[in-house]
Amino acid sequence: MSYEIKQQDKFRYIEEGSGEPLMLLHGLFGALSNFRDLIEYFRNYNKVIVPMLPLLEMDILHTSVGGLAKFVNKFIESRQLKDVHLLGNSLGGHVALVHILKHPERIKSLILTGSSGLFENGMGDSYPKRGDYEYIKRKTELTFYDPQMATKELVDEVYSITNNRLKVIKIIALAKSAIRNNLGEELNQIKQPTLLVWGNNDTITPPFVAREFNRLIPNSELCFIDKCGHAPMMEVPGEFNAILHKFLKKLNEPATVA
């Protein structure tokens, strides 16, 4: 399924369906394909919005989690969005956290899956020499419980990014920014209902990270999915969508009076 990429000012984005906005923020090597099943399902219930994050287009001074969060805030303001359900995977979750801490007023709920912000195993210290396809393939496979999920198309996409010197510099800048930007002491300020959906076999942001988010974010609930790695919305989309749909429906149910 291909989607029309819309343009407004400097922003490029996908917008499908109608209803309360469900906004999706992808990770460091994220692409639209990460959210295909999620978009297809939720376009029937929500206005699903996916802004193209300028991960590799920002100047090096602003290539940071904070720089991306400012971009998201400007996008939300330019589209005049409100009551946004903000969902982020991996680095996208970290960006969502920084945004909600600075600009909570337009956000109705927060959904994190495999989010950085507390701890993550990134590319590690042994960043590959450009041109090491097998290394990139192994690293991409580690994203998933089932290594078969790392299709040739996906590996080729990551490889093309890491084979460009300037892009590699920006990826390293973003990864270092994510490690420096630890939000542990601020998470108790989040007031919005928060859903944490985590793969039980996530090796990049392991299950203990999810439990720590759950402990630190006051109004949060945590769901683990077995046989699932760092990208549940890709690896087990049916289960992920069911958990998210239940959470969103519950938010819109009228409060019962005891």
Confidence of residue 130 (pLDDT cuts 50, 70, 90): low
What average pLDDT does this structure show over 12-25?
96
Confidence of residue 129 (pLDDT cuts 50, 70, 90): low
**pLDDT value at position 181?**
87
pLDDT of residue 10 exceeding 70:
yes
Range of the structural domain that residue 225 is part of: 6-120+182-250
- CATH number of the domain that residue 44 is part of: 3.40.50.1820
**pLDDT value at position 124?**
45
More confident residue, 182 or 245: 245
More confident residue, 130 or 62: 62
CA distance 86 to 194: 10
22: its two tokens: 């469900």
**pLDDT value at position 185?**
92
Q: How far is CA 134 from the centre of its chain?
A: 26
pLDDT 10s digits, 22-39: 999 998 877 777 899 999
**pLDDT value at position 60?**
85
| Number of structural domains found in the chain | 1
**pLDDT value at position 18?**
96
pLDDT of residue 254 exceeding 80:
no
**pLDDT value at position 123?**
45
Tell whether 146 is covered by a domain: no
Residues 6 or more apart whose CB falls under 8 angstroms from that of 125 comprise none
Please work out, in degrees rounded to the nearest 5, the angle formed at the alpha carbon of residue 44 by the alpha carbons of 55 and 76: 35
194: left (phi over 0), alpha (psi -120 to 50) or beta: beta
Confidence of residue 197 (pLDDT cuts 50, 70, 90): very high
What average pLDDT does this structure show over 16-25?
97
Query: Whole-angstrom distance between the N-terminal and C-terminal Cα of the chain?
Result: 46
pLDDT of residue 258 exceeding 60:
no
Closest alpha carbon to 23 in 102, 89, 103? 89
Under 8 Å between Cβ of 203 and 3: no
Tell whether 32 is covered by a domain: yes
**pLDDT value at position 257?**
54
Q: Please report the sign of the dihedral spanned by the C-alpha atoms of residue 154, residue 16, residue 110, residue 225.
A: negative
Tell whether 141 is covered by a domain: no
pLDDT of residue 195 exceeding 70:
yes
What pTM was estimated for this model as a whole? 0.93
pLDDT of residue 148 exceeding 70:
yes
**pLDDT value at position 126?**
47
pLDDT 10s digits, 69-97: 999 999 999 999 999 999 999 999 999 99
Tell whether 202 is covered by a domain: yes
Tell whether 74 is covered by a domain: yes
What average pLDDT does this structure show over 95-106?
97
More confident residue, 81 or 1: 81
Tell whether 82 is covered by a domain: yes
**pLDDT value at position 35?**
92
Tell whether 129 is covered by a domain: no
pLDDT of residue 66 exceeding 80:
yes
